[in-house]
Amino acid sequence: MSVIVNYLTDSRDVVQAALDDQTFIASVGAIADAITASLRDGGKLLTIGNGGSAGDAQHIAGEFVSRLNFDRAPLPAIALTTDTSVITAIGNDYGYESVFKRQVLALGRPGDVLMAISTSGRSPSVLQAMDAARENGLTVVAFTGLSGGDMPARSDLVLHAPSNATPLIQQIHITAAHIVCGIVEAALFPRPEA
């Protein structure tokens, strides 16, 4: 039982730390504004990550394409973690570090947003994609942990989860992404009752 209580306590504490961090809150708002502006101007959201962060990238893209809080038109978002033929071809021909970079070069356009997710901030495949995105006029948003690793220098906007523990960082990432998606859909599809 103590393992359960300890984890739930840690979970509560990291959410409280995010709630108390004005920089964190401002970052969530700025990220939502950047994505809203891109989508309003005909851009799209590209999401990337490895392992659990790949699952988060897919989850986030799904919320934009389908819906989060209410029925509305779909929003253009693509998780670059899902096409096994593309990923394995790039991995085989160019090395795993290029699996997202090549897709960003193929699919990204100036004005799009790349949401790069890495709890450590040191994933080579994510960092290479961020560099390619910046060089090609995409807005780069980083979701990372407390230190940020090498991501902040490659980003336009950074969301630092207030933790060094991977599971807790991931928990904050998906919570923040839900908030971002909710803000974006409310901005693009205002409802009279809201």
Residue 98 marked in a binding site? no
- The Cα 61–Cα 16 span in angstroms is 26
- The Cα 156–Cα 109 span in angstroms is 16
Tokens 């790069």 sit at which residue?
A: 116
Residue 51 marked in a binding site? yes
Residue 38 marked in a binding site? no
Residue 50 marked in a binding site? yes
Residue 164 marked in a binding site? no
Query: How many residues comprise the chain?
Result: 194
Residue 52 marked in a binding site? yes
Residue 56 marked in a binding site? no
Residue 23 marked in a binding site? no
Residue 178 marked in a binding site? yes
Residue type, 169: I
What would you report as the CA-atom Rg of the chain, rounded to the nearest whole angstrom?
Answer: 16
Phi, psi torsion values for 191, nearest 5 degrees: -115, 140
Residue numbers belonging to the annotated binding site for substrate: 50-52, 63, 92-93, 118-120, 123, 170
Residue numbers belonging to the annotated binding site: 50-52, 59, 63, 92-93, 118-120, 123, 170, 178
Residue numbers belonging to the annotated binding site for Zn(2+): 59, 63, 170, 178
